[in-house]
Amino acid sequence: MTTVRTLFDAAAASYDAGRRLLIPCFDDFYGTVAELVAAHTPEAPRGLDLGAGTGLLSAVVDSVRPRARLVLTDLAEAMLDKARRRFAGRPDTEYRVMDHLALAAENEFDLVVSALSIHHLEDDGKAEIYALAARALKPGGLFVNADQVAGDTPDMEARYWRHWYEAAKASGIAAAELEAAVERQQLDRRAPLAPQLAWLRAAGLVEVECRYKNVSFAVMCGRKPA
């Protein structure tokens, strides 16, 4: 986790500028989260963004729920500093430098979201954070994980990686930025989609589904029983 923190602290200054170039399906990927939040949360939800980084996903939540009371967490303090600047003057916004697995909330949030962060955990950590997120939700609350998933086989995973790399390279991103993104991916511990949906169900969530998928980019969601 120290290495993850170091790499993302170093990336904080230029992180947002490269998102559209590194996520080929950027609008649909984040747009799906916005649609879920708009459809399944109250007008002023209490929300938690795990691995919030610079606040990009929280900004998506804010776009459809401007009265949301948000808690943003991340290991990398430099990333959260960018989020603080992004939301300067926004009321009811809290920032916590913390590991996902330190989450201890219970029945506290209407919404728990995460984007491109949980894939840094080993599989047992993923299952654990899904359980902790489910516990943190109020009855009826929504969990959304917008993340990258692995292919089901080594050949499929190789195709997934090649698809991402070629799309990112074709976007016109600077060579140094692409190289840095590839370096960060060495820390990824991506898992296939099917077991992740099973872990969400095992955590006690219902209506579990993959709402959106474009090669390795997937939006998974579920709700805590009311």
* pTM of the predicted protein model: 0.91
* Domain span holding position 130: 2-223
pLDDT at 14: 53
Degrees to nearest 5, angle at CA 70 with 67 and 73: 165
pLDDT at 8: 45
pLDDT in tens, the chain (226 residues): 545 455 444 444 455 667 889 999 999 999 999 999 999 999 999 999 999 999 999 999 999 999 999 999 998 888 899 999 999 989 899 999 999 999 999 999 999 999 999 999 999 999 999 999 999 999 999 999 999 999 999 999 999 999 999 999 999 999 988 998 898 888 899 999 999 999 999 999 999 999 999 999 999 999 999 9
Q: Retrieve residue 28's tokens.
A: 């649909």
pLDDT at 187: 85
User: For the chain, how many structural domains are there in total?
Assistant: 1
The DSSP 8-state label assigned to residue 192 in this structure reads B
Q: Judge whether 209 and 221 are in contact, CB under 8 Å.
A: yes
From 144, 93, 145, select the one nearest 116 (Cα to Cα).
145
pLDDT at 181: 87
pLDDT at 18: 72
pLDDT at 12: 43
CA atoms within 13 A on the CB side of 75: 17
The DSSP 8-state label assigned to residue 119 in this structure reads G
Q: Judge whether 224 and 143 are in contact, CB under 8 Å.
A: yes
Q: Judge whether 193 and 210 are in contact, CB under 8 Å.
A: yes
Kindly give, in sequence order, each residue whose CB lies less than 8 Å from that of residue 60, ignoring residues fewer than 6 positions away: 30, 33, 34, 37
The CATH number covering residue 82 comes to: 3.40.50.150
